[in-house]
């Protein structure tokens, strides 16, 4: 057994067959039902910050929070968060980063451990089903033809245990950096929490955690006068599209009241639109509501140089120092 393409990296008809089952579990109704639990996780994360003066918003707040939310869907114990985050970091860097040979070796070893963890999880759910993602896939595997295989189910779990939190960790850090770096916007959402959903869309437009993605053309096409042959590998610059001045006037201006900010491409478009988009929006909404209420005087530490993770597709700060009061 080995991981195989299942969603973002495969095309119809296989993609549609798999998404038909996965989408019945990963949907807005289920995500909304999780909001009280998500809010409780946010409270716990913020409780741990009380009494401190300076914190790293990445390590101390947004690094594990999205993983713990995802674990609610996956039926995974909270204590597994550190190693799953480490595995996910390496998988991201192996695929899109620039690692030394030694780092590649360590990353490959972690990927094997990560895959075996997913194999064991699926095997456990076959014997002891729960109300979680893997159990749902197993229960409904025969709802499509051909039926979902064990390897496809394991690959879906393997994929979600990365995509379901790594992107949201980076998005949350990008949001805090953007909003705290533009003080009028931060103060506005502190006064008027109703502005938070719009602020999230503007963050997604200007500071997406996924700035580009790989695709292959099905047929020859012409884009702005450039001919792209069929079967060509293409790197789509989603971040650039989100700054298209023909759609977003004054695209470099950060405006949490921008009327059409939601027209960004940060969650993709069409066949591969992100199934987890409603959950990412909900997590960040809850987090910002709780942070602005608890620590409205939060400020970025002076004089820091923000270093970003080194990958071609994913973007987020490695560290983000801030003062609570």
Whether the pLDDT of residue 248 is over 90: the answer is yes
Q: Is residue 70 exposed (0-12), middle (13-18) or buried (19+ Cβ within 10 Å)?
A: buried
Q: What per-residue confidence (pLDDT) applies to 103?
A: 86
Say how many C-beta atoms besides its own lie within 10 A of residue 309's C-beta: 18
- Residue 144, Ramachandran bin (φ over 0: left; ψ between -120 and 50: alpha; else beta): beta
**DSSP states along 10-55:** --TTHHHHHHHHHHHHSSHHHHHHTHHHHHHHHHHHHHTTTT-SEE
User: Which pLDDT score, from 0 to 100, does residue 139 have?
Assistant: 98
Q: Per-residue pLDDT tens for 229-239?
A: 999 999 999 99
In this predicted structure, what is the pLDDT of residue 95? Answer: 79
Alpha-carbon span 165 to 116, nearest angstrom: 19
Highest average pLDDT, of 37-46, 68-77, 91-100, comes from 37-46
117 has a pLDDT exceeding 80: yes
Geometric angle at alpha carbon 70, from 68 and 73, rounded to 5°:
120
Q: What is the pLDDT of residues 179-227, one digit of tens each?
A: 999 999 999 999 999 999 999 999 999 999 999 998 899 999 999 899 9
User: Mean pLDDT, to the nearest integer, of 73-83?
Assistant: 90
Q: 282-292 pLDDT, tens per residue?
A: 999 999 999 99
pLDDT of residue 177: 98
16-34 average pLDDT score: 96
- C-alpha 122/C-alpha 162 separation (Å) is 16
pLDDT at position 11 is 87
Question: Of 308, 319, 320, which is closest to residue 97 (Cα–Cα)?
Answer: 308
* Mean pLDDT along residues 295-309: 96
CATH 1.10.3720.10 fits 14-323, yes or no: no
pLDDT at position 61 over 80: yes
The pLDDT value recorded for residue 3 is 84
Q: What is the percent of the chain where pLDDT is above 70? A: 100
Q: Which distant-in-sequence residues (6+ apart) come within 8 Å of 17 by Cβ?
A: 144, 145, 146
Provide the token pair at 128. 């002891």
Q: What is the pLDDT of residue 9?
A: 84
Mapped onto helix, strand or coil, the DSSP state of residue 177 is helix
Q: What is the pLDDT of residue 221?
A: 95
Per-residue confidence at 94, pLDDT binned at 50, 70, 90?
Answer: confident
154-167 average pLDDT score = 88
pLDDT-derived band at 99, boundaries 50, 70, 90: confident
Q: Where are the beta strands (DSSP E) in 6-159?
A: 54-56
Q: What is the mean pLDDT of residues 63-85?
A: 91
Phi-psi region of 28 (alpha: psi -120 to 50; beta: other; left: phi over 0): alpha
Instruction: State the pLDDT at residue 118.
Output: 95
pLDDT digits (tens, 9 = 90+) for 264-279: 999 999 888 999 999 9
């Amino acid at each position: 057994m080995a991981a195989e393409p299942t969603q973002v990296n495969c095309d119809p008809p296989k993609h549609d067959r798999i998404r038909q089952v996965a989408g019945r579990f990963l949907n807005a109704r289920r995500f909304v039902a999780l909001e009280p639990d998500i809010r409780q996780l946010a409270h716990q994360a913020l409780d741990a910050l009380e009494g401190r003066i300076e914190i790293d918003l990445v390590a101390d707040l947004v690094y594990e929070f999205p993983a713990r939310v995802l674990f609610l869907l996956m039926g995974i114990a909270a204590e597994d968060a550190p190693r799953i985050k480490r595995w996910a970091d390496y998988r991201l860097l192996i695929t899109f980063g620039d690692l030394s040979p030694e780092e590649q070796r360590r990353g490959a070893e972690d990927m094997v451990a990560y895959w075996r963890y997913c194999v064991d999880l699926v095997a456990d759910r076959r014997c002891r089903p729960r109300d979680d993602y893997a159990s749902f896939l197993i229960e409904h595997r025969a709802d499509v033809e051909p039926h979902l295989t064990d390897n496809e189910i394991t690959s879906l779990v393997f994929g979600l245990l990365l995509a379901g939190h790594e992107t949201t960790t980076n998005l949350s850090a990008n949001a805090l950096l953007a909003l705290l770096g533009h003080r009028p916007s931060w103060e506005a959402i502190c006064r008027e929490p109703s502005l938070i959903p719009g602020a999230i869309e503007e963050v997604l437009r200007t500071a997406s955690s996924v700035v580009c993605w790989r695709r292959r053309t099905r047929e020859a096409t012409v884009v702005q006068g450039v001919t792209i042959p069929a079967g060509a590998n293409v790197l789509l610059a989603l971040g650039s599209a989100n700054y298209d001045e023909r759609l977003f006037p004054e695209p470099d201006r950060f405006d949490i009241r921008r009327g059409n900010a939601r027209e960004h491409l940060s969650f993709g478009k069409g066949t591969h639109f992100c199934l987890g988009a409603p959950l990412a929006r909900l997590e960040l909404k809850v987090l910002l509501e709780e942070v602005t209420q608890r620590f409205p005087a939060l400020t970025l530490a002076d004089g820091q140089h923000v270093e970003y993770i080194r990958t071609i597709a994913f973007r987020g700060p490695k560290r983000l120092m801030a003062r609570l009061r």
